[in-house]
Amino acid sequence: MNNNVGLQRTDIVEIDPTFLFRWEEPQRAYVLLYPEGLVKLNSTAGEILAVVAQTVAVGDLLDNFIAKYNNPDIADDILTFLEASNERGWVRIKR
């Protein structure tokens, strides 16, 4: 188990397989369901996790968002969010 929160560009990330992540039409949002709880994600967080749900390398994910929004500054925010999600156990490094 990796207790080191810092994510590397080469890390492949995925949603914890015991969680359920999907678009929920009545909420008009992505939701994450797990034991004893649920999270309704704001549009940005949902957009990021929707990419993580495809199982992806951190570096590729960052590059795609930078290109999509034509803004290199968002990389830090996205990485912070991914690391917080890893810390919370929503997202894990695939090995």
Partner 1 sequence: MSAAGSESSVSAPVKVDGEGLPLWLLLELTYRCPLKCPWCNNPLDFDRYRNELTTEEWVDVLRQGRELGALQLGFSGGEPMQRRDLEELVGEATRLGYYTNLITSGMGLNEQRLAALQRAGLKQVQLSLQACDAELNNRLVGADAYAHKIAAARAIKARGFPMVLNVPVSRYNIEQAPALLELAEELGIEYVEFANLQYYNWALLNRSDLLPTREQLSVAEAVVAETRARLGRRMTIYFVITDYYAERPKACMKGWGNIHLTIAPDGAALPCQEARVIEGLKFPNVRDHDLGWIWHESPVFQKFRGESWMQEPCRSCPERGHDYGGCRCQAFLLNGDAASTDPVCGKSPNHHLIEEAVAAAMAGRPQNRLIMRQRGLNVA
* CB 8 to partner 1: min, Å: 19
End-to-end CA distance of the chain: 10
Query: Is the CB of 57 or the CB of 66 nearer to partner 1?
Result: 66
Of the listed pieces 7-15, 44-52, 55-63, which binds partner 1 according to CB under 8 A?
A: 44-52
- The residue with tokens 């649920």 is 38
Contacts of 83 (CB under 8 A, 6+ apart): 5, 6, 7
Could you give the CA distance from residue 15 to residue 72 in angstroms, rounded to a whole number?
A: 25
Binding residue (CB under 8 A) for partner 1 from 39, 52, 58, 61: 39
Residue 89 — left, alpha, or beta (φ > 0 → left; ψ -120 to 50 → alpha)?
A: left
Nearer CB in complex with partner 1: 38/67: 38
Q: Is 48 in the site for partner 1 (CB under 8 A)?
A: yes
Q: Rule CB under 8 A: which residues touch partner 1?
A: 3, 18, 20, 22, 24, 26-27, 31-42, 44-45, 48, 69, 74, 77-78, 80-81, 87, 89
